[in-house]
A and B are shown apart, each in its own frame.
Chain A
Amino acid sequence: MIKRILNFYIDGFKSMTIGKRLWLIIFIKLFIMFAILKIFFFPNILQSNFSTDEERGNHVIEQITNIK
C-alpha cells in the first residue's frame, strides 16, 4: 500500500512538465521565507525576549497601559 502511494507520487512528479518549474519557484520562495526572512528578520519578539508567560503578560500590560 505504502509502495503504491509512493509510486503514485514519484510517477506524478516524473511526468510533470510545467510543474517542475513551479516546484523550483516554490522551493526558492520557501527558502527565502524560512531560511532568510524568518531567521534574520522575523524573530518572535515576546518568545525571544522573555522566558515565561508571566513576564510576557507583564510586558504587554506595561506597553498597553503606557499612555502618558
Chain B
Amino acid sequence: MENFDLALVDWSRAQFALTAMYHWIFVPLTLGTSFIIAIMMSIYVKTGEEIWKRITKFWLTLFGINFAIGVATGIILEFQFGTNWSNYSWFVGDIFGAPLAIEGILAFFLESTFIAILFFGWGRVSKKFHLVSAWLVAIGSNLSALWILVANAWMQAPVGMTFNPDTARNEMVNFWDIILSPTAVNKFLHTITSAYVLSAIFVVGVSAWFLLKNRRVIFAKKSMLVGATFGLLGALFMLMTGDESARQVFKDQPMKFASMEGLYDGEANAPLVVIGFMQKAPTKANPKMVDFAFKIEVPNLLSYMAALNPNAFVPGINDLVNGNEEHGIVSYYEKIKQGKIAITALRSYKDAKKLGNEAVAAAELVKFRDNYKYFGFGYYNDPHNLIPNVPLVFYAFHTMVGLGMLFLLIFILVLFYLFKKNIVKARWLNYIALWAIPLAYIAQQAGWMVAEFGRQPWVVQDLMTTLSAVSNINHQSVITTFVIFAITFTLLLIAEIKIMLTQIVTESKIKED
C-alpha cells in the first residue's frame, strides 16, 4: 500500500462523492415528478377540468426548475473518469462505455424532444399528443437512469465479461447477463421506486404547506391525493425491492451486508438490529472491532432477510476475514494470497510476452486465470484494511430504512385524512409532511452511502480497489477542482431552492375559483 498516494486516493474519492451526491439531489425528483405530472395531465385530459390543467402546469414548472438546474451535472462524473480514474476507465472497458453511450442517446433524443413538447405544447399540439409526450418524458428519464444503474450494478457484482490480459480491459461477453443481472434489476427498481417516494413526499409536503397557510385548498388537496397515492404504491414497491436487494447484497457482497448490520461474529438464527448505538472496542486481534452500546433486536429476522430462512447462518465480519470452514467461507488471508499470485502472474505474463517467451507466458496466464477472481485482494497485506467503515454503513442503512417506513406511514395517514375530509384540520400531519421533504433527501443520500461506502475498498467488487483505480496525478489539482465543484454545486442548489420557493409562494397567492 505504500506505493499509493493515499492523499490522492482520498481526495479523488471525496471529489467523486461530492459530485455524485449533489447530482443525486436533482435526479430523483425528476424521475418521480415526471410520472406524477403525467398522471395529473391524464386526469386533466380525461376530465377536462381546468383545475387539473393548473395543477399540472404548476408541478411542471417545479419539475422544469429542477431539471434545468440538475441537467448535465452528471457529465462531470464522466470528466472525472478520464482524469482521476483513468486506470479504472480503461480496466472496465466497453462494459461501462456501452450503457453510458445508450444513456446519452436516449437522454438526448427522448427527453430533449419530448420535454420541449411537454413545456411548449399547451394549445399548440393536440391534448392527446401532449399527454403522450408527458408519458414519454417520464419513461425516457427513467430509462436513462437504467443504464447508469446497470453500470453501477456491474461494479458491485461483475458478470458477463472476461478480462483480456493483453489489453488490460474487461470485454463484454454477454450483454444480457450484464443488463439482467439480479443486482442490476434490483438496483434499478429499488432506486427508481425510492425516487418516486421522494417525489411524492415533495408533492405532499408542498401541498401541506398550502394547507397550513390555508391557501389554494382544493388545488392542494387534489395534488396531495395524487402525490400520496403514487407515494404509497412507490413505497410498497420500494420495500419489496429493498428486501430483494438486501438478499442480493448478502449473496454478492457479504462484507457490505455484515457492515449494514454491524455483525462481527456470524450466527445462525441471526437477529435484526432495529435500533442500535455502536461503540468502539478495538482489540489486538481485531483492531477495527466495533460493538453495540445499546441495541433492540428482532430474533431471527436477519437470517430470514438474508436467505428466507429464519435459521440460516449469516457470516459476520470476523468470519469473512478469518474464514469459516464449517460454512465454506474462504478467509481474506487466503484471498489476499491468491490475489498476489494473480497480480504477479499478470506482470510475468506481460514480461514473458515482451521477451517472446511463449511457454512461460502460457504458464503465467493459466496461473493468472486460476486466481483472477481475487485479483484486487492482492493489493493488501492486512485483511482488516478490506473492512468498510462499519458505523457509517450501519447508521446510513438504518437511517434509510427508518425514514422509508416513516414515509409509508405519512402516505397512509395523508390518504386516511383526505378520505375523512379533515386533512386541513390535521395541522400536525401537515407539519410532518412538510418537514419530511428534507428527510426524503437525507434518505436518498443515506441509501447512496450504504451502496458506495459499504462496498469499500472496491470500485469493481473483488477485482479493482480504489487504490489501484486512481490516475497518478498531483493531488493538489484534485483539491482545486473539489473546491470549484463544492462552490458551483452549492450555488446551483441555492438557485434551485430560491427559484422554487418563489414559484410556490407565487402560486399560493393566486385566488382559487
Contact = CB atoms under 8 A, between A and B. Distances in A.
A65 B116 CA distance: 50
A19 B492 contact: no
Interface string B63-96: 0110011011101100110110011011100000
* Interface size range of chain A in the complex: 35 or more
B324 to A, nearest CB: 27
B468 A9 contact: no
Contacts of A43: 82-83
A60 B86 CA distance: 8
B120 A11 contact: yes
Contact of A22 (B69, B168, B481, B484): B69
Contacts of A38: 79
A63 interface: yes
Contacts of A56: 90
Interface stretch (B38-46, B143-151, B339-347): B339-347
B61 A18 contact: yes
A57 B349 CA distance: 14
Interface string B457-477: 000000010001001110001
Contacts of B3: 66-68
Contact of A9 (B76, B116, B168, B492): B116
A39 to B, nearest CB: 10
Nearest to B485: A37
B339 to A, nearest CB: 9
A67 B340 contact: yes
Interface of B: 3, 61, 64-65, 68-69, 71-73, 75-76, 79-80, 82-83, 86-87, 89-91, 116, 119-120, 124, 165-169, 340, 343-344, 346-347, 350, 378-379, 464, 468, 471-473, 477, 480-481, 484, 488, 492, 495, 499, 503
Given A9-B120, A19-B68, A53-B167, 19 more contacts: A12-B120, A15-B120, A19-B119, A22-B68, A25-B68, A29-B488, A33-B72, A33-B75, A33-B76, A45-B83, A47-B82, A57-B90, A57-B169, A60-B91, A60-B168, A61-B168, A64-B87, A65-B346, A67-B3
Interface of A: 8-9, 11-13, 15, 18-19, 21-23, 25-26, 29-30, 32-33, 37-38, 41-47, 53, 56-58, 60-61, 63-68
